Structure 1
Amino acid sequence: MLRNRHDTYGLVAVILHWLVALVVVGLFGLGLWMVELTYYDDWYRRAPAIHKGVGVLLFLTVTLRLGWRLLGPRPAPLATHSVWERRIARVTHALLYALLFAVMLSGSLISTADGRPIDVFGLFSVPALITDLPDQADIAGEVHLILAISLVSLAGVHALAALKHHLIDRDRTLLRMLGRGSASKAR
């Protein structure tokens, strides 16, 4: 089942969700590591190139994921979820998407501040659209770090909420995002 149903997410939504989650965590770790490298480290140029290339691919993936989410039906909220849980879930998802795009935009402002495009593994380049802001790379770098920490923190809270639903409430919230959420498949 590729598409979402009324009671569970389809394979496309599940794969995109977990792919984005893994890439965000990986890029966060890579970003923290690479800023500590010195000019003489073997990874001094390679790590940022990987970070930028994967970041652009993440932008395309998140855009695809958002399009898939908007065009396809979403499973109905579980009846056991209170009104405030549903509202918090909507706000959290909106913030996660906003932070994802803001982190990627600030990253592109760092990478293109010198006017050079972002090379994506030799496959294509993303042009430098904004290059003449005062202290663009430094300011965008500060913003990028703050937004990335905010994104990973909110994603952590999101994961804890899913675990709370699974372990304490014993509902199908987490199972649905694993593609196993239909009532007939619940434990």
Structure 2
Amino acid sequence: MSTAHSTTYTGTAKCLHWVVAAIWIGSWLIGIVAVHWRDELNPDHGLTILRKALASTLLILVVARIAWRLTHPAPPLPGSMSPLMQRGALVGHVLLYVVALVALPVSGWFWSSVADKPIMMLGLLQVPALVSPNPDLYDLAKLMHTWTAWACGALVGGHVLVALKHHFVDKDEVMAGMLPRARG
């Protein structure tokens, strides 16, 4: 079946995808700046507070996104994709959800909890600590979050590259199915 409906995601799925992507990428970039240019650009930890406020909203949005996805399946992949490529797409998406959308925010939450640093969700409410403060776990928590962040950067970068390949090389409707529709 090759109707427009069968190759495109729902409006809600697109909205959740792009809002989560924007928050995730923004938070990830702010995190890099906050850590690597700490003295110059983040001496009072304002960027860190902003990043936590943004990233903490991902936990709620991810629940909404997963619930939507479970009740509204993705459109079928093109028949031109081999079974191996279709399996790779499934594994890639599962990794994005598990690592980038769950493990990264949870590892940051864990690190903040261990360090006894509050997380204010959008500056409105304090997220409860995941664990009790524990200075002995600080270095491990930092290492977990840092390595998870770099792994996520690679996953998201790969996701973008594969989407661009679908659009420009394969010339199929995979990427177009997630793009917002132009009004005309």
TM-score by length of 2: 0.86
Tell me: CA distance 1:42–1:165, structure 2 relative to 1, closer, same or farther (3 Å).
Answer: closer
Unaligned regions of 5+ residues in structure 1, if any? 181-187
* 2:29 paired with 1:29: yes
Secondary structure (helix, strand or coil) at the match of 1:125 reads strand
Query: Partner of 1:112: helix, strand, or coil?
Result: helix
2:126 match: secondary structure: strand
2-side partners of 1:152 and 1:129: how far apart?
24
Match of 2:120 in 1: 119
The residue aligned with 1:163 is 164
Contact 2:109–2:130 (8 Å) recurs in 1? no
Alignment of 1:26-175 (within 5 A): 26-35=26-35, 36-38=37-39, 44-100=44-100, 101-115=102-116, 117-133=118-134, 135-175=136-176
| More helix per residue | 2
Q: CA separation in 1, counterparts of 2:129 and 2:157?
A: 32
Q: CA deviation at 1:117?
A: 3.9
Report the Cα distance in structure 2 between the residues aligned to 1:23 and 1:56, rounded to whole angstroms.
Answer: 10
CA RMSD across the alignment: 2.1
**1:43–1:11 Cα change, 3 Å:** farther
Structure 1 stretches of 4+ moved >3 Å: 40-43, 114-117
How many aligned positions are there?
176
The share of aligned pairs that are identical, in percent, is: 34
> Do structure 1's residue 17 and structure 2's residue 17 form an aligned pair?
yes
Residue pair 1:9, 1:176 contacting (<8 A) in 2 also = yes
* Equivalence for 1:7: 7
* Cα shift at 1:134: 5.7
In the alignment, the residues of structure 2 paired with residue 82 and residue 179 of structure 1 have an alpha-carbon distance, to the nearest angstrom, of: 27
Unaligned runs of 5+ residues in structure 2 are none
